[in-house]
Structure 1
Amino acid sequence: MSKNCIYISLLSLLTFASCEKEKMTPANTSNDTITEVHYASDPDYALANKNAQELVVHFENEQKNLQKKLKKANKKEAEALFIDYYKKLSVIVDSISVAETNTLNTYHSLGNTKPDSILRKEKLYEKLGLYFRKLDSTKYDFKIKPGYFYNLFHKKISSEYEQYLKLRFKEHKLLYDLQFKNEKITLQDQRELIINWEKFILKHKDFKFIDLAKKSYTDNLTMYLFGTPEKPTFEISAKKLYMENEQEYISFVKNNPKLISAEITKKFLKHFYVNDKNFTAEEFYIDLKEFTKAEIAERIK
């Protein structure tokens, strides 16, 4: 099907939907595939000048303290513990990454020829429930394994906290399995996460971690529309959507006319088709990314 035909079909679809209703970067752009809030410089939890060994002991002790306190906690107390220890443990993990800078800077180049010192570190951090997380082709940091907080607080917190931790678990596990099991993140996986995050942020607007929930929604919707450096959704030089993605987006818009995510996808497609002849490849990508970013921010502010 020619692009003009597709565009005409899309406009017809969009008109119908309107009536019914009345986070691939270009090769030369340097962005990590994963972005996240880091707490290592937080003045309330400053852990400067501590070495990795001290931080490991500190992390173990805090994990034990949390488990001990959680045994006697009611739901409100458990939620307070989550708020406190999510930040505490995140600070320690971020600080371990800082303390292990030399190891992390060379980790990508070791491949299957890791020295015993690195293998021992892998076992140590594995025992702690941490892993070497791949951020991009050369960068690593440390991350708590998927499901740690969900499994620890399961059935001990309110339904909104339970839903939030479950969604974070699913989101994190997709990235973890991609790194360690080479299990590809499918368009269906992304679509389901987007829909579930949208439902969550609309239902729980006053949730304590609503900003992080919105960030997860934004990151997942952005990945859905733009892909990753390894698997983009369109050919940048030709400014042409891959057929699988194009069909997915048109189907998503058609089948979910009331979703904010579908409306953003509809505007993404329209902007794509209208402007693919107006810019160079790099300008086109930047313009599309900025347009989409603004649309998401406007709809979930």
Structure 2
Amino acid sequence: MIRKSLAVCMLSVLVFSCKKEASETTVSKTENDSIAKTEVKEDLHKPIDTVYSEKNKTEDYMAALGFYKSKAEKEIAAATPEQNNKIYEDYVQVRSKYIEGLSRLHTDILDKYVNYYDSGTESYKFPENIKKLSVEFKKAGLEFREVGEGMTEISSVPDYYYSLFKNKVTPDYNAYIAQNAVEAEDNYAADAGLIISWEELGNRLIFWEKFINKYPKSPLLKIVKKDYNNYLYDYLYGMDNTPTYESSDGKLYEENRKEFNRIINTYPNSYTAKRAKELLSLFESQMPVDQIREKMNVESNY
């Protein structure tokens, strides 16, 4: 009788165990199916690759730009300022690649853009396709921008990144992004000539010099120093079509002399003022320009 009861008990345990395994298998299968469906759903919403393809259309790029903006906004809200520095760098990189793709896609429009300017009315007369494209670009923080020599580019509006990252990154990044927004408002140069005023260029030099002194350990220091050096080169010598001196007699133009003295008097202890003093002294000694350049030892890194 005991053996019979034991057998029944063991049979019950075996049946329960089989049912439990079957139940767990079903649950596991259901969970895996759910995960698979979710992954497929996410794959369907992934943006196009950043690598350019002739198959991509304008709407593909708009969708990709929108996807990454939303992604950045969510990440920024949950991250620390230090983490947002990295988010900023990554976002600039991926956005730049999509803008490059858009530019390649619309090469024909960019090549003809300046031709739509009507000198009679001093305004542009665009066909409908460009008007519609401009509206779409505006939604994504993009614009058509003439950069000189008959060239037009697609670029982010000046304050695009600052509007997203303002006061959400570390102080050095905040200052960097803010200043870039200001400097992007106007073209720096075109047709081998400076567009902004000499005074504005001098002020930019002072800003970046202060940045370098204030944030000596910033990860941005390498690129800031490069930009500063390029500005300094242009400030001292000018550009092909806007030089600081007369090549025929090697004399400084008066407007540049005044600007150098402004910097020297306003920021006497700055490195920028020091280099301006050196240049003034060398020109006053009537040293040949090629020797002045050699002695100054300031090179551009364009």
Give the alignment's TM-score, normalised by structure 2.
0.68
Cα–Cα, structure 1 residues 291 and 277, in superposed 2: closer, same or farther, change >3 Å?
A: closer
Cα–Cα, structure 1 residues 93 and 271, in superposed 2: closer, same or farther, change >3 Å?
A: farther
TM-superposition CA deviations, 1:28-80 (whole Å, max 9, x none): xxxxxxxxxxxxxxxx9533443443222211211121112222222222222
Larger RCO of the pair (alpha carbons < 8 Å, separation 6+): 1
Instruction: Give the aligned partner of residue 168 of structure 1.
Output: 180
SS at match of 1:295: coil
Q: Would you say the 8 A contact 2:50–2:101 is kept in 1?
A: no
Aligned partners of 1:99, 1:273: CA distance in 2, in Å? 53
Q: Would you say the 8 A contact 2:282–2:292 is kept in 1?
A: yes
Give the residue type in structure 2 aligned to 1:47: Y
Question: Deviation at 1:89?
Answer: 1.1
Cα–Cα, structure 1 residues 274 and 51, in superposed 2: closer, same or farther, change >3 Å?
A: farther
Alignment of 1:284-295 (within 5 A): 294-295=297-298
Structure 1 residues without counterparts, runs of 5 or longer:
1-43, 279-283
Instruction: Give the aligned partner of residue 12 of structure 1.
Output: none
Q: Would you say how many aligned residue pairs link Structure 1 and Structure 2?
A: 242
Aligned partners of 2:234, 2:138: CA distance in 1, in Å? 28
1:242 is the counterpart of 2:253: yes
Aligned partners of 2:139, 2:293: CA distance in 1, in Å? 40
1:149 to 155, 161, 165: 161
1:131 to 143, 149, 152: 143
Identity %: 24
Q: Would you say the 8 A contact 2:142–2:155 is kept in 1?
A: yes
Instruction: Give the aligned partner of residue 208 of structure 2.
Output: 197
SS at match of 1:194: helix
Question: Deviation at 1:253?
Answer: 2.7
Aligned partners of 1:104, 1:290: CA distance in 2, in Å? 40
Instruction: Give the aligned partner of residue 61 of structure 2.
Output: 55
Q: Would you say the 8 A contact 2:147–2:187 is kept in 1?
A: no
Greater C-alpha radius of gyration: 2
Give the alignment's TM-score, normalised by structure 1.
0.68
SS at match of 2:148: coil
Aligned partners of 2:57, 2:285: CA distance in 1, in Å? 54
1:210 is the counterpart of 2:221: yes
Question: Deviation at 1:226?
Answer: 4.2
Question: Deviation at 1:145?
Answer: 1.0
SS at match of 1:143: strand
Higher strand residue share? 2
1:98 is the counterpart of 2:104: yes
Question: Deviation at 1:276?
Answer: 6.8
Question: Deviation at 1:224?
Answer: 3.0
Q: Would you say the 8 A contact 1:264–1:296 is kept in 2?
A: no
